[in-house]
Amino acid sequence: MNMDLVTRASRLPRAGETLIGQTFSTVPGGKGANQAVASARLGAEVAMIGCVGSDAYGTQLRDALLVEGIDCQAVSRVEGSSGVALIVVDDNSQNAIVIVAGSNGELTPASLQSFDAVLQAADVVVCQLEVPMETVGFTLKRARELGKTVILNPAPASAPLPAEWYASIDYLIPNESEAAALSGITVDTLDSAKLAATQLIKAGAGKVIITLGAQGALFTDGQTFEHLLAPKVKAVDTTAAGDTFVGGFAAALAVGKSEAEAIRFGQVAAALSVTRAGAQPSIPTLHEVQGFVFP
C-alpha cells in the first residue's frame, strides 16, 4: 500500500539530469492495494492484509480501500511513514518508478498469523513482492495448506524466487522483465517468452501467464501455450495496468470463469485502465468491462 507521488514530464530524466515537470498528483497505489481495488471494482468480495504508517498518507490509503467496500480489518497501522512510490510518466505513457517500503516492511509472518481467519475465508489469495519476502513465502505456504487458489504477481522482481515457493503457486503472473529475472532468459519475443514460461513451469509453478503489454499475454499449463492478443487502445498512462490485469483475473476466477475467460477479462480491464491517468483512479468497473467491445 503506497501513496503514489506522480509527475508527468516530456520524457524520463537521464542520470544527473533535472527536468521541468508538467503536472504533479498524489494518488493511492501500491501493487497489493491496486489489485485489491481492481478485484473489488470488477465484482469480487475483497479483504486486504497490509500495513499503513502513522502519517496522513496512512489514513488516506486505508480510506481509499474502505470507499471501495474492501474489508480492512487486517490493515494495521504502525508507527512511522507509509509506503510511497515516486513515479515519472513521459509523453509516450511509459513510466519509471522508485518505491520506498515504509510501513509495508512491517508486514511480518507474525502479523499474518493474527489474521489467519481472513485467509481461511478466501477463495483466491493474491500476493506480490512489495512486502518482506519471508511474509510472502509464509502466505503462499499457508494459502496452499488451506487449499486456496494461489496467485503470485512477482513484482518487483530482480532475481529468481526461492525454489520452495513454486509448489504453492497455482498461477505465476510476471511481466516480461520479471519473467527474465525469474528465469534468467531475456524475454523480448514470443518465442523467448515461451522459453521463460517453460523454465518457470519446470521450477514448479502450476501455470504461468506472462503479460506482454500491448502484445497481450502468454498462458501455459506446461503442456500447451496460448497467446491472447490485447485490445488495441490509445494509452495515456500505463501505471497499474499489470495490477488491474491481476485483479481482474483473480476476480473472474473467484466467480467461476474459465482460465481463458479470466485472462480475457483481465486484459480488457487493463486496456481500459491505460486510457486514464493514475493508479487506482484508472481502474475500471465491472459495468465498463462488460460493456467493452473487443476489437
Whether 180 maps to a domain, the answer reads yes
pLDDT at 235: 86
Whether 222 maps to a domain, the answer reads yes
Tell me which residue range forms the domain holding 265.
31-56+69-79+106-282
How many C-alpha atoms does 177 have within 13 Å on its Cβ side?
6
| 83 bridge partner residues | 2
Going by pLDDT thresholds of 50, 70 and 90, the confidence category of residue 258 is: very high
Going by pLDDT thresholds of 50, 70 and 90, the confidence category of residue 237 is: confident
Whether 165 maps to a domain, the answer reads yes
DSSP 8-state symbol, 237: -
| 124 bridge partner residues | 149
CB 20 within 8 A of CB 9: yes
| 4 bridge partner residues | 27, 85
How many C-alpha atoms does 141 have within 13 Å on its Cβ side?
13
The overall average pLDDT reported for the chain is 95
Q: What amino acid is encoded at 250 in this protein?
A: A
Q: pLDDT over 70 for what percent of the chain? A: 99
Split into its structural domains, the chain has a count of 1
Give the mean model confidence (pLDDT) for residues 254-269: 95
Per residue in 107-118, pLDDT (tens digit) is 999 999 999 999
Per residue in 108-157, pLDDT (tens digit) is 999 999 999 999 999 999 999 999 999 999 999 999 999 999 999 999 99
Return the number of other C-beta atoms located less than 10 Å from residue 15's C-beta.
4
Asked if 243 is an active-site residue, the reply is: yes
Smallest Cα–Cα separation from 269: which of 225, 89, 291, 253?
A: 291
Task: Report the C-alpha gap between 5 and 26 in whole angstroms.
Answer: 5
Query: Grid coordinates in use for 248?
Result: 481482474
Task: Report the C-alpha gap between 90 and 277 in whole angstroms.
Answer: 12
Whether 123 maps to a domain, the answer reads yes
What's the start-to-end Cα distance of the chain, in Å?
Answer: 34
Q: What is the pTM of this model?
A: 0.92
pLDDT at 265: 96
Let me know if 224 is exposed, middle or buried by CB neighbors in 10 A (0-12, 13-18, 19+): exposed
Task: Report the C-alpha gap between 197 and 274 in whole angstroms.
Answer: 25
Residue 245 has pLDDT above 80, yes or no: yes
Whether 45 maps to a domain, the answer reads yes
Whether 221 maps to a domain, the answer reads yes
Residues 6 or more apart in contact with residue 244 via CB below 8 angstroms: 34, 38, 266, 269, 270, 272, 273, 282, 283, 284
Residue 293 has pLDDT above 80, yes or no: no
Going by pLDDT thresholds of 50, 70 and 90, the confidence category of residue 278 is: confident
Residue 26 has pLDDT above 80, yes or no: yes
pLDDT at 95: 82
pLDDT at 294: 60
Give the mean model confidence (pLDDT) for residues 144-171: 96
Task: Report the C-alpha gap between 128 and 154 in whole angstroms.
Answer: 5
Whether 96 maps to a domain, the answer reads no
Residue 197 has pLDDT above 90, yes or no: yes
CB 39 within 8 A of CB 250: yes
CB 12 within 8 A of CB 66: no
Give the mean model confidence (pLDDT) for residues 192-200: 98
pLDDT at 158: 86
pLDDT at 295: 58
Residue 252 has pLDDT above 70, yes or no: yes
CATH of the domain at 158: 3.40.1190.20
CB 23 within 8 A of CB 8: yes
pLDDT at 83: 97
CB 205 within 8 A of CB 172: yes
Whether 10 maps to a domain, the answer reads no
Residue 78 has pLDDT above 80, yes or no: yes
Q: Which of 4, 55, 237, 243 is catalytic?
A: 243
Give the mean model confidence (pLDDT) for residues 249-254: 97
The CA radius of gyration of the chain, in Å to the nearest whole number, is 18
Per residue in 36-74, pLDDT (tens digit) is 999 999 999 999 999 999 999 999 999 999 999 999 999
- 92-96, 231-235, 265-269, 282-286: segment of lowest average pLDDT: 92-96
What H or E segment, with its residue span, contains residue 159? none
